[in-house]
Chain A
Amino acid sequence: MYVEQISIFIENKFGRLAEVTRILGDAGVNIRTLSLADTSDFGILRLIVNDAEKAKSVLKDRGFTVSKTEVVAVEIPDRPGGLADILQVLDAGGINVEYMYAFVERCGENAVMIFRFDETQKAIEALTAKSFNVLPGDRLYSM
């Protein structure tokens, strides 16, 4: 039920983001969605791509520090309060969201959010128990 995300360390320097995306583009890796967390010195680029293994290896070859992280993709009803309902379930279960960001594509009528939890397995159990749809990686990579 996990989705593989790759995270890349990037210094806050001119042209670094362009270089990362160019390397991936040249390798034929398609970025499905991304988020960038940044400080004044550096940023962490988080990507969900169609081929995480390949993305990781081409970036490592070019000297970037890359890691793979398991995140969770959850379908969210596209209506007011949709996200709040999910967060309430997590809150009740004592699960922390480390970070989250939105997926670009919709899944039918629903929006998709990517979550990084402190306790991933527990989060998945809590969400499925409340009938939220957790999307498997394969589905997402090819969406």
Chain B
Amino acid sequence: MFFNEEFETLPREAIEALQLKRLKSMVARVQQNVPFYKESLAKAGVNADSIKSLADLARLPFTYKQDMRDSYPYRLFAVPMEDIVRIHASSGTTGKPTVVGYTQKDIDTWSELMARSFVAAGVHKGDIIHNSYGYGLFTGGLGAHYGAERLGASVIPMSGGNTKKQIMIMQDFGSTVLTCTPSYSLYMAEAAKEEGIDFRDLKLKVGIFGAEPWSEAMRLDIEEKLNLSAVDIYGLSEIMGPGVAIECCEAKKGLHVWEDHFIPEIINPETGEVLPEGQKGELVITTITKEGIPLIRYRTRDITSITYEPCICGRTHARIARMSGRSDDMLIIRGVNVFPSQIEAILMGVEGVEPHYVLIVDRKDNLDTLEVQVEVGENIFSDEIKHLQALSTKIEKQIKEMLGVTCRVRLVEPKSIIRSEGKAKRVIDNRNKA
């Protein structure tokens, strides 16, 4: 089953011809309209006319998340604000988020690609989609929502949280498709069990899980406990949002990247050199149809590999492997992206707190937990418990407000956090040990 059979099954040569045409047009647009690209392309000595083949993509400069921060909020936009119909953002290092803007055409494209993704996952018009991705500045909720409507399915805009209500609605409304993070699906199944509800008895048949890395073992666990077919979805707000790539239900072997809109490359994160098919490296994406904020060779920092082998589902678009890690120190906690530097910035903003902290990430009952250990130096020490507890609560609240992630602050003795010679060991992630 396809949503847009013509484009989803384009022969390889046709995809590449389309990519080249769209790439040249996009480069011409940003060179004209975005001062940042005008400068970086000039520096690299490339322009739209000098791109003769897709191999020339490697001559274009990379775009980094930092470039987006430096251009806060709108300076990377390639169209006037009156053409922007939607703005999304992800949390930033110093409280300033990374901002993206969409034209109506961008929203239409996103909706189509999400609709294609739903169909690839095995969803049909007539399905009831229980959408537990967060609605708001985060792209997850609205991205899946618009795709569901484009497909013509019924969408329940649940957003995250309030697990009991989620379960009740899923049961009473007869949801057939679930979209959320893989860990939250297991958490809900466990919570339902305590209420005497077995997820296997619900009408769910497809689960589309993303926004955090997961394993094949976890897929089997979810499929067994929830009695549904689980597929992996990939996306990031900088590029578009959810639906940049999706696993097809037929093969469940790699995620198809919608190549008529994005050009994926795998590079060596150290040298920037493009790696051959099958080799593991950092995923770099160029958006070739986006109008609001087109990006050239965006460094996703996600580690994967790519294959152009034909897929049994009939889609001709390349597949990337499950994300196996990051080439930076970003953590994904319950689907929320968190950089240790963001937490550091918040801690430094609290009077008296010293830059000695450690983040302990774990998974308990299928939910990620974050513990922030903060050393108690003389500046923040009090002989009264209530003052220290107020300090912990204040930090917890600020982290929740600024980064959208729930954490527990644990006050520890000075020097109990290991000082290392070079790079401080700031993060202990126990999630992959199990």
Contacts and interface: CB of A to CB of B under 8 A. Distances in A.
Interface string A21-63: 0000000000000000111011010100000000000000001
A44 B389 contact: no
Q: Interface residues of B: mostly helix, strand, loop or mixed?
A: loop
A39 B415 contact: no
Contact of A7 (B377, B383, B413, B415): B383
B411 A63 contact: no
Q: Interface residues of A: mostly helix, strand, loop or mixed?
A: strand
Given A39-B389, A41-B410, A65-B376, A9 B415 contact: no
Contact of B383 (A11, A38, A44, A63): A44
Contacts of A69: 383
A46 B385 CA distance: 11
A46 B378 CA distance: 15
A54 to B, nearest CB: 18
Interface residues of B, number: 17
Given A11-B412, A39-B389, A65 B384 contact: no
B414 interface: yes
Interface string A1-26: 00001010111000010000000000
B416 interface: yes
Contact of B385 (A5, A44, A64, A65): A44
Contacts, number: 51
Contacts of A64: 413-414
A116 B383 contact: yes
Contact of B381 (A5, A7, A16): A7
Interface string B408-424: 00111111100000000
Nearest to A68: B383
Contacts of A41: 410-411
A92 to B, nearest CB: 24
B89 interface: no
> Which of B376, B381, B383, B384 counts the most chain A CB atoms within 10 A?
B383
Interface string A86-106: 000000000000110000000
A42 B411 contact: yes
B28 interface: no
A42 B381 contact: no
Contacts of B416: 11
A5 B383 contact: yes
Bin the interface of chain A by size: 20 to 34
B412 A65 contact: no
B383 A65 contact: no
Contacts of B376: 9, 42, 65
A121 interface: no
Nearest to B408: A41
B367 interface: no
A16 B414 CA distance: 13
Interface string B219-253: 00000000000000000000000000000000000
B275 interface: no
B413 A98 contact: no
Interface in B369-394: 376-378, 381-385, 388-389
B389 A65 contact: no
Contacts of A99: 384
A67 B380 CA distance: 10
A18 to B, nearest CB: 15
B385 A39 contact: yes
B410 A65 contact: no
A63 B388 contact: no
A65 B388 contact: no
7 contacts: A5-B383, A9-B411, A44-B383, A44-B384, A63-B414, A65-B378, A99-B384
Interface of B: 376-378, 381-385, 388-389, 410-416
6 tightest A-B CB contacts, nearest first: A7-B383, A63-B415, A69-B383, A65-B381, A9-B376, A11-B413
Interface of A: 5, 7, 9-11, 16, 37-39, 41-42, 44, 46, 63-67, 69, 98-99, 116
Given A16-B413, A44-B385, A44-B388, 15 more contacts: A10-B413, A11-B412, A11-B416, A37-B385, A39-B385, A63-B414, A63-B415, A65-B376, A65-B413, A66-B378, A66-B381, A67-B381, A67-B382, A67-B383, A69-B383
